[in-house]
């Protein structure tokens, strides 16, 4: 039995550039979400990948303090980038999600949906909010066609979850 663990990091090694480009710019479901993506880009700026301090970062055109949380699936000797969430602290002291992307196999309809990558990314960001002084919670993106929960309170920090395959 191979153990795989979903881990989260704010630092992404340059060796993952192609995975990150594919995730953000060549996602197989891009056409399905075209209107939402374009609306998000219009509101938050176009994401770009930059090398900084020995690693990779996502920056948004015209926005300053942008942070990214990456979801990595760790197996015996490999690390696979399976998702990312781009966020910034807003004027209401919330961590506002600007973009969220999950590798196609790990989406709710994918062959590895049991990892719940999108849910786990949001949960981990809520834990991070708990550690940052003055942050009220995490603001989810607003979809104009339907109402989503808007602000989730922070969560206490716990260890990473390992899944067996």
Residue 16 sits in a domain of what CATH number?
Answer: 3.40.630
Give the strand pairing for 162-164 and 3-9: antiparallel
For residue 143, name the pLDDT band (cuts at 50, 70, 90).
low
Host H or E run for residue 38: helix 34-44
- Torsions phi, psi for 160 (to 5 deg): -70, 155
For residue 20, name the pLDDT band (cuts at 50, 70, 90).
very high
Is 79 strand, coil or helix? strand
Nearest to 131 by CA among 83, 95, 86, 81: 95
**Residue 99 to residue 19: CA distance in whole angstroms:** 16
Nearest to 125 by CA among 157, 80, 82, 163: 157
For residue 70, name the pLDDT band (cuts at 50, 70, 90).
very high
**Full residue range of the structural domain in which residue 22 is found:** 3-164
Mean predicted confidence (pLDDT) in 56-74: 88
The order of strands in the sheet holding 47-52 is: 12-13, 55-60, 47-52
Q: Based on the structure, what is the number of domains in the chain? A: 1
**Residue 46 to residue 135: CA distance in whole angstroms:** 26
């Amino acid at each position: 039995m191979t153990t795989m663990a979903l881990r989260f990091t704010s630092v992404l090694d340059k060796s993952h550039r192609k995975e990150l480009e594919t995730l953000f710019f060549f996602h197989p479901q891009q056409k399905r979400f075209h209107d939402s993506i374009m609306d998000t880009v219009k509101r938050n700026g176009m994401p770009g990948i930059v090398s900084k301090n020995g690693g990779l970062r996502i920056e948004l055109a015209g926005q300053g303090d942008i942070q990214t949380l990456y979801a990595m699936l760790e197996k015996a000797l490999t690390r696979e980038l399976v998702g990312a969430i781009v966020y910034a602290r807003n004027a209401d002291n919330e961590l506002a999600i600007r973009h969220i992307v999950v590798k196609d196999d790990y989406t709710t309809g994918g062959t590895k949906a049991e990892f719940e990558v999108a849910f786990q990314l949001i949960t981990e960001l809520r834990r991070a909010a708990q550690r940052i002084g003055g942050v009220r919670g995490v603001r989810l993106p607003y979809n104009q066609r339907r109402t989503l929960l808007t602000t989730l309170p922070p969560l206490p920090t716990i260890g990473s979850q390992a899944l067996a395959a």
